[in-house]
Structure 1
Amino acid sequence: MAMEYGERTRSGHLARRPLLPPALRAPVEARTWREFGYLLVSLPLSIVMFTYAVTMVALGAGLLVTFLGVPVLAAALAGCRGFGVLERARARGLLRLDVAEPRPVRAAKPGAMAWIGAVLKSGTSWRSLLYAVLHFPWAVFAFTLAVTFWSVGWSLLTYPLWRWVFPMYAGVDGLQLYGSEDGRHTFYLDSTFEIAVTAAVGLLVTLVTPWLIRALTTVDRVMVAGLLGASRLDARVVELESDRGAVVDTAAADLRRIERELHDGAQARLTGLAADLGLAKDKLREDPREAARLVDEAHGEVKLALQELRDLARGIHPAVLTDRGLDAALSALAARCTVPVRVTVDLRERPAPAIEGIAYFTVSELLANVSRHSGARSASVEVWRVEDRLLVQVADDGRGGADPAAGTGLAGLAGRLGAVDGVLDVDSPAGGPTRVTAELPWCG
């Protein structure tokens, strides 16, 4: 029975553990071969990129005295962007580097001139050109260093295996380090000690080479991510576009909720109220007692309809929040919760009204989750300010296990907070307690 090396996991399966430490495994690991292949391919590609970029830019600059210079420069930049696509794909496949795609060229209006203008104005185009120029000298250096160390290391390490080829096929005693023209002063690596030392040196160089290659490819990673990836502005634009979609979806959902509550609640009651008053009017002369009863029921329906409208208005934006701030509004929320809630608000001034409203509805949703899902006996709400951030924390002693990915409403809440550069942190181990912290910009 074959012996397996490893240790048992919690599930009882045997987790395989490598026999060799990382330093000895590195020369034969797939990562090392991928990165070495990346450096090998970099040189011919960088030659093509550099030649294209320098030639086209020089040609375009020379033709700027005529109209042809501008489209030639645009073609140069467009070609460099194309090389950037290739380089990102190569880094993704060989270096396992996932680089965000920059924003595509978008002309303000259709037409060749508009496209040329958009290419020339794009920062991504000029960064791609800079990459094509700077990567060439680095690729020459990295290729030379990597190939030299790789070939020398493996050649010396395997020298005991192939040194006997020389006497058999070349008529020499082994690897010659130096020799004179007259043949009197020559030195061959042919003794057992010399062969062992040669292999030991080869092993040392072979073990060092993977780490050298990783250091070289680290520079490539920085260049690809910094010059060919999305800029901070592009990433911010994409984030804002995503957040805008989340805000629009949230607003649409709120409008549907308000319409549904009006239709099913106050509107239905007011419709019934109109019918009851109509019957009471008809029976006023024939049966005053029945008319009085109907009016009394209608009065009760009016009270219920008013209460539902107040609750709906509170759900849109509570008056107490506008008039008295978060402390009073959150205390009112806590009073309606099904478990005892302790509220602590440590704010010397009020944040922006929009942030104040988001903080209120965040606590409202979190306390609703406490009432419905936590099984808690008590909860707490704390609000405080740290520099230019407003922090809201809701904690409970319930069963825990809250997970934003499990469809508990926390994912939607995190999305709404993200729309205003907010962050939602959920700490809810199984068995509790649960602690949810929302961080919002102050914007006071």
Structure 2
Amino acid sequence: MTVRTAWQAITRNPVHFLGSSWPWRSLGYLVSGVLTGAATGVVLFALVLGGAMLAIGLVGFGLLFAAGLSGVVVARLERWRLRLVDLDPAPDPHRAPDRPGARAWLAVRLREQQTWRELGYVAVSVLALWWLDLGVLVASFLLPAMAVIEIVVDPYLPWFGLVFLLLAIPVLLLVAAFPVTVWAGARAAFARSVLAPRELELGARLGEVSRSRARLVDAFEVERRRIERDLHDGAQQRLVALTIALGMARLDLVEGSPAALGVAEAHEQARLALAELRELIRGVHPQVLTDRGLAAATTEVASRSPLPVGVDIALPGRMPAAVEATAYFVVAEALANVAKHSGAGRAEVRGRLLGELLVVEVSDDGAGGAAPAAGSGLAGLADRAAAADGTLSVSSPIGGPTVITLEIPCPSG
């Protein structure tokens, strides 16, 4: 397992720990903490004192405003220093750009909350943390420093005392590496909890996963359309031409002759292949969905169902292509499941746009008892809905009716 933090390093084999860079990194972290904490305290004291003395003027308000901004500046420095003892980057909400489609108000709220947390961290750092850093350093290196001073200032030190001190100094320095690293790890854990809370980091990662999933869905949809276009413009046209040619050839042959029978059989097979290809094209991506939208495409798939299907989809206009495609394929798969498993005599499809949420319901009067874990394809429908950031719910009590509800966000912007 790769060591990522000082906390993890201190739990490893002591020999490996002492031979690694972590004691030096921890020492650098604490020393820089003392320097930055003392410098920040001096600057803040000057700014606050100057602002209080000149509070009635613009200069005073400017100094107080600068003191407030110090939280952002110091926190940025602390996130940079954190890399000494924590290799995982600490996200900075002030620098993270708003992704397309992100909720801007949520990003602003997070930054406002983080600014107050940063101000609090600066106050704690100036009043306590850098003093604790200094105390740990002094306590850890006090004995080695005293041994060095004893060697330097005592000209009458006996030889055995000199040998003892020379042997004790490296041992004391090795021992000092442990409290220094322990406190550096604790200090870093506190800094991360305040300046880069895990929920923000997890939220950022979840957002990236969602965006990655959306990109995959878009790429998959583009590929589906390309396949549909190639089949429609290529293989289908060739089969149409072949069917016509075989039909013309039948007219030139004597009816009932072996050649006529063979051409007739070939003509029938070509016609069946053409019908199957057209069905395949509709399954890949129906052209009517691209040309006329969700309502028309749903009506077409309902007309091919073996049982009566009522369609009531009233939308104010065209939805985004990804939303229409997801809703169409969920409806198509749901109607196929109804025909295969429900024993229903009739099904209904209803769709409405409620605010910025597309809601599509597929219901039937079958026997009920449908469940995603029962192998009826509902789990796949739920996965398809989730890929579009939507949800799929199923209500199917024993005896029916079964209602499958799809909800997909459909932002107006």
Q: TM-score, normalised by structure 2?
A: 0.53
- Corresponding position of 1:100: 90
Larger mean CA deviation between 62-71 and 297-306 belongs to 62-71
1:148-159 equivalence runs, <5 A: 148-156=139-147
Contact 2:144/2:169 (CA < 8 Å) preserved in 1?
yes
The answer as to 2:32 corresponding to 1:41 is yes
* Cα distance in 2 between the residues matched to 1:202 and 1:255: 69
* Cα distance in 2 between the residues matched to 1:28 and 1:203: 14
Give the C-alpha shift of residue 146 in structure 1: 1.2
Q: Deviations over 1:197-247 (max 9, x none)?
A: 766775664343111101110122112312222551454145324422432
**Counterpart code for 1:268:** G
Q: Secondary structure at the match of 1:90?
A: helix
Contact 2:47/2:67 (CA < 8 Å) preserved in 1?
yes
Q: Equivalent of 2:241, from 260, 275, 296? A: 275
Contact 2:75/2:118 (CA < 8 Å) preserved in 1?
yes
Contact 1:270/1:305 (CA < 8 Å) preserved in 2?
yes
Q: Deviations over 1:374-393 (max 9, x none)?
A: xxxxxxxxxxxxxxxxxxxx
1:358-437 equivalence runs, <5 A: none
The answer as to 2:146 corresponding to 1:142 is no
Q: Secondary structure at the match of 1:97?
A: coil
**Counterpart code for 1:271:** Q
* Cα distance in 2 between the residues matched to 1:71 and 1:292: 98
Contact 1:128/1:228 (CA < 8 Å) preserved in 2?
yes
Q: Deviations over 1:100-138 (max 9, x none)?
A: 322236899xxxxx9xx9699522222222221112312
Would you say how many aligned residue pairs link Structure 1 and Structure 2?
A: 296
Judging changes above 3 Å, is the alpha-carbon distance between structure 1 residues 24 and 274 closer, same or farther for their aligned structure 2 residues? closer
**Counterpart code for 1:357:** G
**Counterpart code for 2:234:** A
Q: Equivalent of 1:223, from 175, 190, 194? A: 190
Judging changes above 3 Å, is the alpha-carbon distance between structure 1 residues 150 and 127 closer, same or farther for their aligned structure 2 residues? same
Contact 2:224/2:284 (CA < 8 Å) preserved in 1?
no
Larger mean CA deviation between 24-33 and 127-136 belongs to 24-33
**Counterpart code for 1:210:** A
* Cα distance in 2 between the residues matched to 1:357 and 1:284: 46
Q: Secondary structure at the match of 1:139?
A: helix
- Corresponding position of 1:8: none
Structure 1 alignment gaps of length 5 or more: 1-20, 109-113, 168-172, 175-189, 329-346, 362-415, 422-442
- Corresponding position of 1:208: 175
- Corresponding position of 1:12: none
- Corresponding position of 1:79: 70
**Counterpart code for 1:85:** R
Contact 2:72/2:115 (CA < 8 Å) preserved in 1?
yes
**Counterpart code for 1:297:** A
Q: TM-score, normalised by structure 1?
A: 0.50
Judging changes above 3 Å, is the alpha-carbon distance between structure 1 residues 209 and 106 closer, same or farther for their aligned structure 2 residues? closer
* Cα distance in 2 between the residues matched to 1:294 and 1:69: 98
Judging changes above 3 Å, is the alpha-carbon distance between structure 1 residues 231 and 73 closer, same or farther for their aligned structure 2 residues? farther
Give the C-alpha shift of residue 299 in structure 1: 2.7
- Corresponding position of 1:132: 122
Q: Equivalent of 2:154, from 163, 166, 176? A: 166
Q: Equivalent of 1:356, from 359, 379, 382? A: 379
**Counterpart code for 1:128:** E
Give the C-alpha shift of residue 259 in structure 1: 2.9
Contact 1:62/1:69 (CA < 8 Å) preserved in 2?
yes
- Corresponding position of 1:301: 270
* Cα distance in 1 between the residues matched to 2:58 and 2:108: 17
Judging changes above 3 Å, is the alpha-carbon distance between structure 1 residues 263 and 235 closer, same or farther for their aligned structure 2 residues? same
Contact 1:277/1:295 (CA < 8 Å) preserved in 2?
no
Contact 1:269/1:301 (CA < 8 Å) preserved in 2?
no
Larger mean CA deviation between 285-294 and 209-218 belongs to 285-294
* Cα distance in 1 between the residues matched to 2:115 and 2:20: 36
Give the C-alpha shift of residue 49 in structure 1: 2.5
1:45-124 equivalence runs, <5 A: 45-53=36-44, 75-92=66-83, 94-104=84-94, 122-124=112-114
Judging changes above 3 Å, is the alpha-carbon distance between structure 1 residues 281 and 299 closer, same or farther for their aligned structure 2 residues? closer
Contact 1:265/1:305 (CA < 8 Å) preserved in 2?
no
Q: Equivalent of 1:249, from 211, 216, 223? A: 216
**Counterpart code for 1:350:** P
**Counterpart code for 1:213:** V
* Cα distance in 1 between the residues matched to 2:63 and 2:24: 39
* Cα distance in 1 between the residues matched to 2:383 and 2:50: 62
Judging changes above 3 Å, is the alpha-carbon distance between structure 1 residues 66 and 226 closer, same or farther for their aligned structure 2 residues? farther
State the superposition RMSD in angstroms. 5.1
Q: Deviations over 1:396-430 (max 9, x none)?
A: xxxxxxxxxxxxxxxxxxxx989899xxxxxxxxx
Judging changes above 3 Å, is the alpha-carbon distance between structure 1 residues 356 and 205 closer, same or farther for their aligned structure 2 residues? same
Contact 1:27/1:210 (CA < 8 Å) preserved in 2?
yes
Give the C-alpha shift of residue 37 in structure 1: 2.6
Judging changes above 3 Å, is the alpha-carbon distance between structure 1 residues 307 and 74 closer, same or farther for their aligned structure 2 residues? farther
Q: Secondary structure at the match of 1:122?
A: helix
- Corresponding position of 1:397: none
Structure 2 alignment gaps of length 5 or more: 1-11, 99-103, 286-328, 342-368, 392-406, 408-413
